[in-house]
Structure 1
Amino acid sequence: MDKKYLKRASSGLWLYRRKTPVLLKDKYGSNYIQHTLNTHSYHEAILKRNAINADIEMELAHVKRGSNDKAKFFHYYSQWRKEYEERQAELSKEDLYNPMEDAEPEQLVDSEEDAKSPAVKAAWTAMKTGKIPEEYQPTISELAEEWAKWAEDKKNAKYVSAMSTYVKALVAFLGRDELPCNVTSGQAQRFIDGLLESGKSASTVTHYKSKLQELWRWAVTRERASGDNPWLNTKVEASRKKSKSEHYRNFTDDELTEILAKTEYDKLNSKTWAYP
């Protein structure tokens, strides 16, 4: 039974509890991060734990990249968007007004400097719609880093390494570390075709396609990227043309004459034909 970061209270409810990463201690102000999962079900607790853990790992990844505007945007957007959706889910049919609409973001930030930051203001606006402005969207490589953190306890090392290899190949093909939303289906198909033309087998190229499709799906469903998944309609279509198989031809009369002339019959020790 997987109980990583899970603890059961005396009431029977599951709790999420993990040691606070050093880089996030200023934010959480405690040596441990703890949340009540409000469920007695182990399977439901697992799902909630994974969601909380993914958010924490994303925050950690952005902090590691430095306190730039993009990191600041996601520092606030992740927590605000999560709370907004939770409150939205609690609304009744009679009351469709989300109380966070009346909240003042200036009261929810960590410092006066952040309150004036355009990145923080953009995070507040995006929190309501789930649409991340292009200037704050993670690039393909940044997205892959976030995915790798999320996948640490879900995928084996070989799987994570393969994703990194495929992402690097894609970025090299595109010529720059693009935003995921800027990659078109046409570019995705040309990348696939190029891999086949380079000599890679259809099976190998299918792995490229499936991994990249997974990365985009992960990003879009978690609102880390916008737009469609360009890998959904790509096809791995290897050429059916095969090189002609080689067949042995019959010896010519001259070749047979030469072979027979050079054969030393007195050295034959078997019934099989011995060529010189």
Structure 2
Amino acid sequence: MGVEIRAEGLVMTYGDVRAVDGVSFTVAPGEFFGLLGPNGAGKTTALEMIEGLRRPMAGTVRIDGHDPWNREPELQRRMGVQLQASSFFERLTAREQLDTFGALYGVAAGRTDQMLEQVGLVDKADVRTEDLSGGQKQRLSIACALIHDPEVVFLDEPTAALDPQARHNLWDVLRTINHSGRTVILTTHYMDEAEALCDRVAIMDAGRILEMDTPAALVRGLDAPVRISLAPGTLSLADARAVAGSDAVDVDDPGTTITTRDAARVLSDLAARDALGGLSVKGASLEDVFLDLTGRQYRA
């Protein structure tokens, strides 16, 4: 179960714009892999080439040794694809949509009820898709991609438009799929989602991969300071500066936040002063890595 995916030197241009510019990576069987990047970074275009929906202008894609552009029926049956924009058959209910998708793959009818339960749409089973909310349509789209129990799953921003409960419930579904040995590739703008789900991530911008590693390794490589927040009134500004020491990155006024690269020593000193009540510690995250690599300017 699970398949290997190899992308080598993928290129796609639109006029003078190189949307994908020499992208290469390998996804191991059973790996959960994330493609991250700001709007226009090229991640959706790269994903569509890997899925076989676009033919690369240069480079190659192999899924378990097969070229997805050839549309081999046996390979397509092993793939599940959820696109960024959902599209359904008109005037069908959620149940009928899943029954139709399942019939295309020869799936037993009982699978529909299972998928409705997994994505939390049991109470909407007999509602036409045009009457579903945006988040409900998104969940139905994911259910359609998973109805035939594929070995490799492609998800393009799967939790866009979902509320926090639906996001976390879907994470559980995706973890279960991946832990059963399936290969999963997703794009997402939610860095906490990538940290929670992905074994490795590739951060893209301007059509190229900037960094690729496990989320934890990327965060460690950033070497960012730690923010230690104290309950108001715990220390005076002078005491907070004394605890922080001369190598502190910053101590705010009135001394409720110490930013330091020597968190262990600062925490030890705070413990000695009995100043740990209400304290919180925040280190760097994948979002910090993302912003460090891609910048903070607005994207069109």
What's the TM-score, normalizing by structure 1? 0.29
For the pair shown, the structure with the greater C-alpha radius of gyration is: 1
Which of structures 1 and 2 has the larger relative contact order (alpha carbons within 8 angstroms, sep 6+)? 2
Higher strand share: 2
